[in-house]
A and B are shown apart, each in its own frame.
Chain A
Amino acid sequence: MKGRIAIIDGLRTPFCKAGGILQHTEADDLAAHLINEMFWRQKVTRDDVDEVIFGNVIQPVHAPNIARVIALKSGLPHSTLAHSVQRNCASGMEAITTAASKILGGEANLIIAGGTESMSRAPLLLNDKMKACLEALLKARSLSAKIKILLSIRPGHFKPVIALLKGLTDPVCGLNMGQTAERIAREMAVQRDEQDAYALESHHRAIKAYEEGFFESEISAIAPTPNYKALINQDDGIRHDLSIEKLKKMRPYFDRACGSVTIGNACQITDGAVALFLSSEEYAKERNLNILGYLTGYAYCGLEPERMGLGPVYSTAKLLKQEGTPDKLEDYDLMEINEAFAAQVLACAKAFSSKEFCKNHLGLDEPLGIVDPNKLNIHGGSIALGHPVGATGARLVLTLLRALKTKGLNRGMASLCVGGGLGASLSLEVDHE
């Protein structure tokens, strides 16, 4: 990248289990809440914002360009631009990197970027049989024809198509995300015991982060619709009573016979949003804004859809080659690899340090480096906190920058595997006075 992009500050909503307390709150309301709150905390005003860019995967039917709806609900002037981006699980990161390239290209000074997802609001659709019936009914002229069509309806017609499940299945390789995790667990020989232990650690780290008050200033409490009865300020996916025994008892979900991936060692389906204020370094410094940290580089990569979980290894290899980013994996003080599945994070870790993998798949003579577990996902990850698909990418950036800042560290890398066979890695950095 030609320069650093300042990430001035960010906020997120609590991440709450789908079908739970945030189930009636639309994705645009989640995000707008954050922006409205940010304007009370930031020196910049609504008139300063050039564009709003938001990542969102499910794309609610009532808000086709959700970023524009968010911008308007945040009280931004009508003249403020807005557009939405979709790169599946990396949508939140895509919003950030799109903003970065716009700022670097001189198209904008100040951009609000982030991700939002209400997985609760994913629709149930009519199946093809029912759809055909209804279409025929509309075309039918005579009453008898209409009755005939109505009489042909069978219980099977009412079986809905669950949009969320459709979305989690790759249409090309035919595997759902859990099955791709099984695939790479086998490829990298990740055992069930390792996965369960990793999942438990994720919950423990999240609990500890809460005890230390780490998430307090990252989360903005929200009063959920439809009745605004309570103010929610905590993620509700963390399980305090979880034990290794409980995890061991769970049956593999995606491959019942020989699998190792369970509901317990996979990420949770969650509602939530993240918003960040981005500008060029000069813009932020001229206005004397308190800067959280910087984006110094980013890389996306593509690989086989059925091996999508290994995406972070491929994208990170690309990232390390860039100018302005560290050359070695060890140069990063902290790392985030999104926990889509414990199996997938562990598989990535193994791949990073495998000479054979790096040679065969990345054409490198040496392995990329060792992933130190004490530097990886130190405040827990999507297994404990949940994974609102479009929002997580932005959360990783926010959480990682805040972790660097509070721990007095400098460099971090946030990466994510992307359904469909993509990977994303962002290089971040924090200045300390």
Chain B
Amino acid sequence: MSNAWSLIKEEGGIIKCIFDLPGEKVNKFSFAVMQEFAEILEELKTAKTTDTLIIMSAKEGIFIAGADINEISQIKDKEDAYEKSKLGQKIFNSLENLPCKTIAYIHGACMGGGMECALACDYRIISDDETSKCALPEVKLGILPAWGGTWRFSQLIGLSASLPYMLTGRNIPAKKAFKIGLCDAIVAHEYSQSELQRFCQQIHENSPHKAILKKRKKRTNLFMRSLERNSLGKDFILNQALKSTLKQSHGHYPSPEKIIELLKSYPGKSSSEAMELEAQAFSELMQGEVCQNILKIYLANEELKSHGKTCPTSIPKKSHMAVLGAGIMGGGLAWLISSKGHFVRMKDISQEALAGGYKAGFKIYSSLFKKRRIKKGAMSLGMQRITSSLDYKGFEKVDLVVEAVVENMDLKKTVLAEMESSLPQQSIIASNTSALSISTMAESLKYPERFAGFHFFNPVNRMPLVEVIPGKKTSPETISSLCHFAQSLGKTPIVVKDVPGFLVNRILLPYINESVRLVEEGADIKMVDKSLSDFGMPMGPLFLSDEVGLDVGYKVAKLLEKAYGERMKVCALLEEIHSYEGVLGKKSGIGFYHHNARKLKVNQKIEGAKNRKQDASTQFTSEDIINRTMLLLINEAALCIEEGVIAKATDLDLAMVMGIGFPPFRGGPLSYAQSIGISKVVEMLNTYHEKYGMRYKPSQYLISLSQDNKNFNQI
């Protein structure tokens, strides 16, 4: 790969170095590109001190998107990681040491390695375009900026200002970048040519140049600067940062801690010493399991999304969509679809129900407005795109209808048949069922080939996954259109087989069921939840059940019991809770917990339930709780692979991370099983099988993997 870079020499000693990666929409630093950049820098060593080098991008909306993540994921071992880091540092050092003055002109996104490149320049100028923003997002992938980024960034804008950006990886918008002193000037892109020329003149003249450098210092807060000047203040800042980091990560994510540790060691070091430390820290992180897991999930997600993008689709860009059933899910879908510019029609059987849909949709809009993620005008336009109806008036314009009525097969069949007569033949019908069979549902339709499952997760605005489920007669075109559409809504589509519970709920339910069973056997409710949230789940399984709604959960559990028999038998305590009046979880204010009280309190009625063992003879450790629940989850996941519910193990892991928030640092259930060791998993399952019953019977697939000494990825 050559000719990603070109040099243009202009009057007045200006040398423009233009980055334009051939055949790509964005500029990335692959190692080949870095090599070429190094050659160019070598050539520039002869430049005069009166010259000015401007690094800029020829891409739309992108300065430099960062390092090529595919290449990062292929880093072999610790030594390899160290060398790759050193190589990048060396190249950027030679950029820093060029005899001429250097400017990065940032127009578009400037991410990760791109920002490290900009930091190695003498000056940075940013355009005020909407797309112009800087970030060091490495931490999100479980690594850290290792081409001199941590050192240069903290040196440039100060410790306290740089820390939050390095620890969260969040974006720095153009105006902010100028304000905090990361950039020396902010310009309108339309005038950039003359502005850049003027800036080049200024830096070669004594007093204007001094003014530019002085401005950098002024922009940082006086109090913080004085705090940073002494070692005590520095320690204070870093310790505070560590505390709040640990509060969020529960110690599961090593990279923010590593960054803090690194910054702690910087005082008194020279830049080369600091970079040495940085390279070492990077290589340690790269070797760690967490980073490998996160990278794997990230790449799987990118692949699915880009696959969705390439799927051919019959749905127009500004389309007419209908949502059947205006509940929380229906309203959420109305929000999602209307916010992307489509016109939405909600249909339900009463005015009250429709009003509920509007309310649910508006709730999401207004929460985004409060967070300043959308403007008032966009919100009002979005809400205007939502209309409602008690009948099928207007359905002859519909391109896609998503059914989200109550989970009842007979009802769904009736509704679908009734609706189909009002629809044009080419429009797609999708069901947002969470567990019912798509093929059975399709029996009620005249044209089943345009029908498929399209399962969004609740709450729609926060859950990035969509299960796309072909029934027996579903056409490939329908699936392709749905995958494309899901991707255009910003979701990750994943195609799974039409089995009861599909993929995510099928794997989730045994885990929830087992956690209730633990309570039944006498385990403490809070203890169960705490053990699993400490394990890394976003919330405990009992709290999650309250959140989903105990009636909804029970319905799905019963359905799966019917489909899978003994293995998924609904535990007695759950049956008992179902018989209680008004104990429906968060929506009724009471479930496993009291939700309306100021402090979360356990529901004593469940603690004292008939079906719960009341003597405290059995003690449960966190390990018991985790093993009992996770082994079932792993085993069910393995069964799904065995039955071909989903093709790839990495996709299953991704689905569980995105669908239920399975801890990403563990890389999903199958990666987690691998980290325990598959033979160990089988061994434990066998023990539990004897002790607790047939639901722990290890799947044939796991057994054969352990016998052949293989892991999931080697199929």
Interface residues of A (CB under 8 A from B): 29, 32-33, 36-37, 39-41, 72-75, 221, 223, 225, 227-231, 233
B365-406 to A contact mask, C-beta < 8 Å, 1/0: 000000000000000110111011100011001000000000
Residue of B nearest to A221 (CB): B351
CA distance in complex: A233, B355 (Å) = 11
Evaluate whether A40 and B362 lie within 8 angstroms (CB atoms) in the complex, with A29-B380, A231-B354 already known: no
Q: How far is the CB of B335 from chain A (nearest CB, A)?
A: 11
By a beta-carbon cutoff of 8 Å, the part of chain B in contact with chain A is 320, 343, 345, 351-352, 354-355, 358-359, 361-362, 380-381, 383-385, 387-389, 393-394, 397
Contact between chains at A73 and B384 (CB < 8 Å): yes
Q: How far is the CA of A433 from the CA of B181 in the complex (A)?
A: 76
Most chain B Cβ neighbours within 10 Å, of A29, A33, A231, A233: A231
Q: How far is the CB of B505 from chain A (nearest CB, A)?
A: 30
Contact between A229 and B387, CB atoms less than 8 A apart: no
A73 to B376, CA, bound (A): 12
Residue from the list A29, A36, A37, A229 in contact with B359, Cβ < 8 A: A229
Q: A290 to chain B: closest CB distance in Å?
A: 13
> Once the chains bind, are A228 and B389 in contact (CB under 8 Å)?
no
**Closest residue on chain A to residue B397 by CB atoms:** A40
Whether the Cβ atoms of A40 and B358 lie closer than 8 Å is no
Within 8 Å by CB of B393, from A33, A41, A225, lies A41
Name B's interface SS: helix
Q: Is A229 touching B355 in the complex (CB atoms < 8 A)?
A: yes
Cross-chain contact A228 with B380 (CB below 8 angstroms): no
Which residues of the other chain, A, contact B354 by a CB distance below 8 angstroms? 221, 223, 231
Query: A40-B397, A73-B384 are known contacts; what are 5 more A-B pairs with Cβ within 8 Å?
Result: A36-B387, A40-B320, A40-B394, A41-B393, A223-B355
Q: What are 22 sample pairs from A and B whose C-beta atoms fall under 8 A apart?
A: A29-B380, A29-B384, A33-B387, A36-B384, A36-B385, A37-B387, A39-B343, A40-B389, A41-B393, A72-B381, A73-B381, A75-B343, A221-B388, A223-B359, A223-B388, A228-B362, A230-B351, A230-B355, A231-B351, A231-B354, A231-B388, A233-B351
CA distance A238 to B361 in the complex (A): 32
A298 to B409, CA, bound (A): 58
Instruction: Give the chain A neighbours of B397 by CB distance below 8 A.
Output: 39-40
Which residue of A is nearest B360, CB measured?
A: A228
Q: Quick check: B355 and A231 within 8 Å, CB to CB?
A: yes
| Nearest Cβ on chain B to A229's Cβ, whole angstroms | 6
Q: Which residues of B contact A228 (CB under 8 A)?
A: 355, 358-359, 361-362, 383
Closest to A37 in B: B387
Contact of B384 among A41, A74, A233 (CB under 8 A): A74
Note all chain A residues with C-beta closer than 8 A to B388.
221, 223, 231
List of B residues within 8 angstroms of A230 by Cβ: 351-352, 355
Shortest Cβ gap from A70 to chain B (Å)? 10
Question: What is the CA–CA distance of A37 and B394 in the complex, to the nearest angstrom?
Answer: 9
Given contacts A40-B394, A227-B362, contact A75 B355 (CB under 8 A): no
B contact residues around A221 at 8 Å (CB): 351, 354, 388
CB distance from B115 to the nearest CB of A (A): 37
Contact B358 A231 (CB under 8 A): yes
User: How far, in angstroms, from A37 to B388 measured CA to CA in the complex?
Assistant: 8
CB of B477 to closest CB in A, whole Å: 24
Chain B residue contacts of A33, Cβ below 8 A: 384, 387
**B394 / chain A contacts, CB cutoff of 8 Å:** 40-41
Top 5 nearest A-B pairs by Cβ distance?
A40-B394, A228-B358, A223-B358, A231-B355, A231-B351
Q: How far is the CA of A228 from the CA of B387 in the complex (A)?
A: 12
Report the bound CA distance from A225 to B366 in whole Å: 11
User: Residues of A contacting B389 with CB < 8 Å?
Assistant: 40
Bound: A233/B352 CA distance, A: 11
